[in-house]
Amino acid sequence: MPSHDPLSSEERSERMSRIRNADTKPEMVVRGLVYGMGYRYRLHRKDLPGKPDLVFQSRHKVIFVHGCFWHQHGCSQYRMPRSKLDFWEPKLEGNRARDIRVRNALDMLGWQSLVVWECELKDMDALRQRVRVFLEIV
């Protein structure tokens, strides 16, 4: 059964072009939280697999901030699109497979990684504790 996108291809293209892969709102919130906790970091190091969002060089740790939709979190914020499934299913599954490859590559290089999901920003106290535990445990 063919599905129908309510937007024209030009409208869909324009909307998709506004989606960022760095400096997203969730990423900016996490950066502010981590900075406010007193931790300093580098951004998007191109020499590390996956160009992690936050890099803590001296600790050999990185944080990725993932959108629940783009990385198929499975929480209540994630919903598979109803149209163009022949595009979306392989695209989103490819993102998930790449995430696994990147984290494995970082692990092989001796880096620990933490994924912060967009939905976790709803409970900043719990997120603060999770980040602190990750950054402090050797």
Instruction: For residue 79, give the CATH number of its domain.
Output: 3.40.960.10
In a domain, 62, yes or no: yes
Residue 62 host element (H or E): strand 61-66
In a domain, 13, yes or no: no
In a domain, 85, yes or no: yes
Task: State the pLDDT at residue 4.
Answer: 64
28: domain range? 21-136
Query: In the predicted model, is pLDDT for residue 40 greater than 50?
Result: yes
In a domain, 123, yes or no: yes
Give the span between the Cα atoms of 127 and 63, in whole angstroms.
Answer: 12
Over range 98-116, report the average pLDDT.
98
Least trusted range by pLDDT, from 23-27, 39-43, 112-116: 23-27
Least trusted range by pLDDT, from 14-23, 32-41, 104-113: 14-23
Token readout for 20 is 């960022």
pLDDT averaged over the chain?
Answer: 89
- The type of residue at 5 is D
What residues contact 34, with CB distance under 8 A and at least 6 apart?
Answer: 41, 54, 63, 131
In a domain, 5, yes or no: no
What residues contact 133, with CB distance under 8 A and at least 6 apart?
Answer: none
Over range 5-15, report the average pLDDT.
62
Neighbour order of strands in the sheet with 54-56: 42-43, 54-56, 61-66, 112-117
Give the span between the Cα atoms of 123 and 118, in whole angstroms.
Answer: 11
In a domain, 4, yes or no: no
Confidence tier at 1 by pLDDT (50, 70, 90): very low
Number of domains in the chain: 1
